[in-house]
Amino acid sequence: MTGVCALFNYWIGQDDTIPFCLLITTDATRDTPEHLAPFLPETGEAWTLDVLIGPPEYVGRGIATQMLESFLSHIQYQNRALRTVLIDPEANNSRAIHVYEKAGFQLVSEFVPSDGSFQGKPHVLMAYHYCLTKHSRTSA
Protein backbone atom coordinates (compact mmCIF):
# COMPACT_ATOMS: atom_id res chain seq x y z
CA MET A 1 0.00 0.00 0.00
CA THR A 2 1.25 3.48 -0.80
CA GLY A 3 -0.09 6.93 -0.11
CA VAL A 4 0.66 10.56 -0.72
CA CYS A 5 -0.16 13.65 1.28
CA ALA A 6 1.06 17.23 1.05
CA LEU A 7 4.08 16.64 3.32
CA PHE A 8 5.17 13.04 2.72
CA ASN A 9 4.70 9.75 0.89
CA TYR A 10 4.30 6.48 2.70
CA TRP A 11 4.52 2.78 2.00
CA ILE A 12 3.45 -0.17 4.12
CA GLY A 13 5.74 -3.18 3.79
CA GLN A 14 4.18 -6.61 4.01
CA ASP A 15 5.43 -10.11 4.76
CA ASP A 16 3.05 -12.01 2.49
CA THR A 17 -0.21 -10.40 3.67
CA ILE A 18 0.97 -9.21 7.10
CA PRO A 19 1.96 -5.52 7.38
CA PHE A 20 5.25 -5.22 9.25
CA CYS A 21 6.77 -1.81 8.48
CA LEU A 22 5.97 1.77 7.57
CA LEU A 23 8.31 3.74 5.33
CA ILE A 24 7.89 7.51 5.06
CA THR A 25 9.69 9.72 2.55
CA THR A 26 9.79 13.49 2.27
CA ASP A 27 11.42 15.88 -0.17
CA ALA A 28 14.73 16.74 1.52
CA THR A 29 14.90 20.07 -0.31
CA ARG A 30 11.59 21.30 1.08
CA ASP A 31 12.25 23.55 4.07
CA THR A 32 15.71 21.98 4.24
CA PRO A 33 17.02 21.61 7.79
CA GLU A 34 20.52 23.02 8.18
CA HIS A 35 22.08 19.62 8.94
CA LEU A 36 20.88 18.19 5.57
CA ALA A 37 21.94 21.03 3.24
CA PRO A 38 25.62 20.00 2.78
CA PHE A 39 24.57 16.51 1.70
CA LEU A 40 22.02 17.32 -0.99
CA PRO A 41 23.00 16.47 -4.57
CA GLU A 42 23.85 19.29 -6.97
CA THR A 43 21.38 17.88 -9.49
CA GLY A 44 18.45 15.55 -9.10
CA GLU A 45 16.23 14.91 -6.12
CA ALA A 46 16.93 14.00 -2.51
CA TRP A 47 14.50 12.41 -0.09
CA THR A 48 14.53 11.72 3.61
CA LEU A 49 13.44 8.31 4.84
CA ASP A 50 11.96 7.16 8.13
CA VAL A 51 11.47 3.46 8.82
CA LEU A 52 9.25 2.01 11.53
CA ILE A 53 9.25 -1.74 12.16
CA GLY A 54 6.50 -3.48 14.10
CA PRO A 55 4.95 -5.75 15.32
CA PRO A 56 7.78 -6.66 17.70
CA GLU A 57 8.12 -10.19 16.32
CA TYR A 58 9.55 -8.68 13.12
CA VAL A 59 12.46 -6.98 14.91
CA GLY A 60 15.70 -8.97 14.74
CA ARG A 61 14.55 -11.41 12.05
CA GLY A 62 17.09 -10.22 9.49
CA ILE A 63 14.57 -9.03 6.90
CA ALA A 64 15.07 -5.27 7.21
CA THR A 65 18.15 -5.12 4.95
CA GLN A 66 16.41 -6.98 2.13
CA MET A 67 13.29 -4.85 2.59
CA LEU A 68 15.35 -1.63 2.40
CA GLU A 69 17.31 -2.80 -0.65
CA SER A 70 14.05 -3.64 -2.44
CA PHE A 71 12.46 -0.36 -1.40
CA LEU A 72 15.45 1.72 -2.53
CA SER A 73 15.40 0.00 -5.93
CA HIS A 74 11.65 0.49 -6.20
CA ILE A 75 11.64 4.21 -5.47
CA GLN A 76 14.56 4.87 -7.80
CA TYR A 77 12.85 2.91 -10.58
CA GLN A 78 9.74 5.06 -10.08
CA ASN A 79 11.73 8.30 -9.90
CA ARG A 80 14.88 8.31 -12.04
CA ALA A 81 15.70 11.86 -10.86
CA LEU A 82 16.23 10.58 -7.30
CA ARG A 83 19.93 10.76 -6.45
CA THR A 84 20.16 10.66 -2.65
CA VAL A 85 18.16 9.24 0.25
CA LEU A 86 18.99 10.52 3.75
CA ILE A 87 18.14 8.81 7.02
CA ASP A 88 18.94 10.00 10.54
CA PRO A 89 18.70 7.34 13.27
CA GLU A 90 19.52 8.10 16.88
CA ALA A 91 23.24 7.57 17.46
CA ASN A 92 22.56 4.93 20.12
CA ASN A 93 20.45 2.81 17.74
CA SER A 94 23.29 0.53 16.66
CA ARG A 95 20.97 -2.13 15.24
CA ALA A 96 19.32 0.32 12.85
CA ILE A 97 22.66 1.86 11.86
CA HIS A 98 24.03 -1.61 11.09
CA VAL A 99 21.01 -2.44 8.90
CA TYR A 100 21.27 0.87 7.04
CA GLU A 101 24.98 0.29 6.40
CA LYS A 102 24.26 -3.21 5.06
CA ALA A 103 21.65 -1.70 2.73
CA GLY A 104 24.21 0.75 1.31
CA PHE A 105 23.86 3.88 3.46
CA GLN A 106 27.05 5.68 4.49
CA LEU A 107 27.59 7.73 7.65
CA VAL A 108 28.07 11.37 6.61
CA SER A 109 27.69 13.38 9.83
CA GLU A 110 26.50 13.56 13.40
CA PHE A 111 24.13 16.14 14.86
CA VAL A 112 21.94 16.91 17.86
CA PRO A 113 18.47 18.31 17.07
CA SER A 114 17.82 21.62 18.81
CA ASP A 115 14.03 21.31 18.81
CA GLY A 116 11.21 18.83 18.40
CA SER A 117 10.64 15.49 20.09
CA PHE A 118 14.28 14.43 19.54
CA GLN A 119 15.75 17.65 20.99
CA GLY A 120 19.09 17.00 22.67
CA LYS A 121 19.38 13.39 21.47
CA PRO A 122 22.47 12.67 19.33
CA HIS A 123 21.74 11.40 15.81
CA VAL A 124 23.79 10.27 12.84
CA LEU A 125 23.02 11.30 9.30
CA MET A 126 23.42 8.56 6.71
CA ALA A 127 23.21 8.93 2.93
CA TYR A 128 22.39 6.48 0.17
CA HIS A 129 23.74 7.76 -3.14
CA TYR A 130 22.34 6.02 -6.20
CA CYS A 131 25.36 6.82 -8.34
CA LEU A 132 27.66 5.03 -5.84
CA THR A 133 25.67 1.94 -4.92
CA LYS A 134 25.17 -1.48 -6.41
CA HIS A 135 21.48 -0.74 -7.06
CA SER A 136 22.17 1.91 -9.67
CA ARG A 137 24.80 -0.20 -11.41
CA THR A 138 22.60 -3.29 -11.66
CA SER A 139 19.27 -1.61 -12.43
CA ALA A 140 20.47 0.75 -15.18
* Residue range 3-37, pLDDT digits in tens: 666 688 999 988 888 898 999 999 998 888 888 99
What is the residue extent of each domain of the chain?
2-139
Rounded average pLDDT over 86-105: 96
Angle between helices 64-78 and 94-102 (to 10 degrees): 50
The answer to whether 53 and 64 are in contact (CB under 8 A) is yes
Q: Go through the chain and tell me how many residues it has.
A: 140
pTM of structure: 0.86
As a whole number of angstroms, the distance between CA 58 and CA 15 comes to: 9
As a whole number of angstroms, the distance between CA 121 and CA 110 comes to: 11
Backbone angles phi and psi of 24, in degrees to 5: -125, 130
Rounded average pLDDT over 52-81: 90
Backbone angles phi and psi of 107, in degrees to 5: -70, 125
Backbone angles phi and psi of 116, in degrees to 5: 85, -175
Q: Classify domain 2-139 by CATH number.
A: 3.40.630.30
As a whole number of angstroms, the distance between CA 113 and CA 108 comes to: 16
The answer to whether 76 and 135 are in contact (CB under 8 A) is yes
